């Protein structure tokens, strides 16, 4: 185990940002967190990370990265902002080999091959956060390559992930997050914790894989929810019409086709997708 001393004597994040002339890029969806106590709390959400591999997307100047390293993790971070590579390089040296930085776009990385089994912990760039989450929740392989997700989102998005049926926030994201995973809001984060402060509150969501229901094809679940919530104000008899067999499945399950998608429980979508198979 690397001696933690170099990590204990790093310059404050504000000094690092000033020294390298960094500022959060709106185009990249960046908002930096400088409060090291808060970053330490986020790093504790997945549980003990000592000796665990962690994948971080968009480390920026490395605030959360420091917290993860101090928690004993082996960190692989992907960063597309070249301005941040120099301060991250200094952090690599201080980590004693426990930090590897990949320059690139997280949306284009073959994570299962390049990262391998890992906990994902990230203050996600706002402009790609939902796209990354949908990708991590999807796919045929289950359990997935990731062991848990600890992710910062705008509060509105976080509430959509954990929402229950018959609520305004309930939609496709909730079903995709909950049909074979367990999702919860681990903490809310005030906008003042960020530099620059965003216009909205944020929250950390923690997601862990659960056993996948038998006989349900992920591709069908994705297709079904896309249709059902694509026109969420329409009745199911209209919104599910493009999905072959869906209306017959509703009838067999005793689900009124005059209902709207937001009234169906996750278990209802599982039952419909199971009847539809992989069609």
pLDDT band at 8; cut points 50, 70, 90: low
- State the average pLDDT for the chain: 90
Q: Where are the domains of the chain?
A: 5-209, 218-276
Q: Please state the pTM of the whole predicted model.
A: 0.91
Least confident window among 48-57, 224-233, 251-260: 224-233
Query: Could you report the per-residue pLDDT of 110-152, keeping only the tens digit for each?
Result: 999 999 999 999 998 777 889 999 999 999 999 999 999 999 9
What pLDDT is recorded for position 1?
46
Residues 22, 255: Cα–Cα separation, whole Å: 55
Residues 209, 213: Cα–Cα separation, whole Å: 12
Note whether 5-209 and 218-276 share their fold. Answer: no
CA dihedral (148, 150, 155, 157) in degrees, to 10, reads: -40
Fold for domain 218-276?
Answer: Helicase, Ruva Protein; domain 3 (1.10.8)
Kindly report the backbone phi and psi dihedral angles of residue 250, in degrees, each rounded to the nearest multiple of 5, phi listed first: -60, -45
pLDDT at 26 over 60: no
Distances 117 to 96, 113, 175 between C-alpha atoms, Å: 21, 9, 24
pLDDT at 19 over 80: no
Kindly give, in sequence order, each residue whose CB lies less than 8 Å from that of residue 156, ignoring residues fewer than 6 positions away.
169, 200
Q: What is the CA radius of gyration of the chain?
A: 21
Task: Write the DSSP assignment of 64-75 as a string of letters.
Answer: HHHHHHHTT-EE
Angle (deg, nearest 10), helices 266-276 and 246-253: 120
Query: Could you report the per-residue pLDDT of 148-192, keeping only the tens digit for each?
Result: 999 999 999 999 999 999 999 999 999 999 999 999 999 999 988
Strands (E) in 58-201, as ranges, are 74-79, 99-103, 118-122, 146-154, 181-189, 194-195
pLDDT band at 100; cut points 50, 70, 90: very high
Within a 10 A sphere around the Cβ of 113, how many other Cβ atoms? Answer: 8
Decide if 124 contacts 132 (C-beta within 8 A): yes
Domain covering 5-209 in this structure, CATH number: 3.40.50.150
Kindly report the backbone phi and psi dihedral angles of residue 104, in degrees, each rounded to the nearest multiple of 5, phi listed first: 165, -175
What pLDDT is recorded for position 275?
97
Decide if 77 contacts 100 (C-beta within 8 A): yes
Query: Could you report the per-residue pLDDT of 198-211, keeping only the tens digit for each?
Result: 788 999 999 999 99
Of 207, 209, 143, 179, residue with least CA distance to 274 = 179
Decide if 114 contacts 89 (C-beta within 8 A): no
Distances 274 to 86, 91, 153, 201 between C-alpha atoms, Å: 50, 48, 31, 38
Average the pLDDT over 83-89 and give the result: 86
Residues 251, 259: Cα–Cα separation, whole Å: 12
């Amino acid at each position: 185990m690397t001696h933690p001393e170099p990590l204990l004597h790093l310059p404050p994040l504000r000094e690092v940002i000033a020294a390298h002339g960094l500022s959060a890029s709106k185009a990249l969806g960046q908002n930096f967190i400088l409060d090291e106590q808060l970053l330490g709390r986020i790093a504790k959400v997945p549980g003990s990370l000592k000796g665990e591999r962690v994948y971080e997307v968009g480390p920026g100047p490395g605030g959360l990265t420091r917290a993860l390293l101090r928690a004993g993790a082996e960190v692989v971070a992907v960063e597309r902002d070249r301005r941040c590579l120099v301060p991250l390089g200094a952090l690599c040296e201080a980590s004693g080999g426990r930090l590897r930085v990949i320059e690139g776009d997280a949306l284009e990385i073959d994570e299962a091959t390049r990262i391998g089994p890992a906990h994902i912990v990230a203050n996600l760039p706002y402009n790609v956060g939902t796209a990354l989450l949908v990708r991590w929740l999807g796919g045929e392989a289950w359990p997935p390559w990731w062991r848990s997700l600890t992710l910062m989102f705008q509060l509105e998005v976080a509430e959509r992930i954990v929402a229950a049926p018959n609520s305004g926030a309930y939609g496709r994201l909730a079903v995709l997050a909950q049909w074979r995973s367990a999702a919860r809001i681990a903490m809310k984060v005030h906008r003042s914790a960020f530099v620059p402060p965003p216009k909205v509150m944020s929250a950390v969501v923690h997601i862990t894989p659960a056993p996948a229901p038998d006989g349900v094809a992920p591709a069908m679940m994705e297709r079904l929810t896309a249709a059902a919530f694509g026109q969420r104000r329409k009745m199911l008899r209209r919104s599910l019409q493009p999905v072959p067999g869906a209306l017959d499945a509703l009838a067999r399950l005793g689900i009124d086709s005059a209902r709207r998608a937001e009234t169906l429980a996750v278990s209802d979508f599982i039952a419909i997708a199971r009847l539809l198979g992989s069609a």
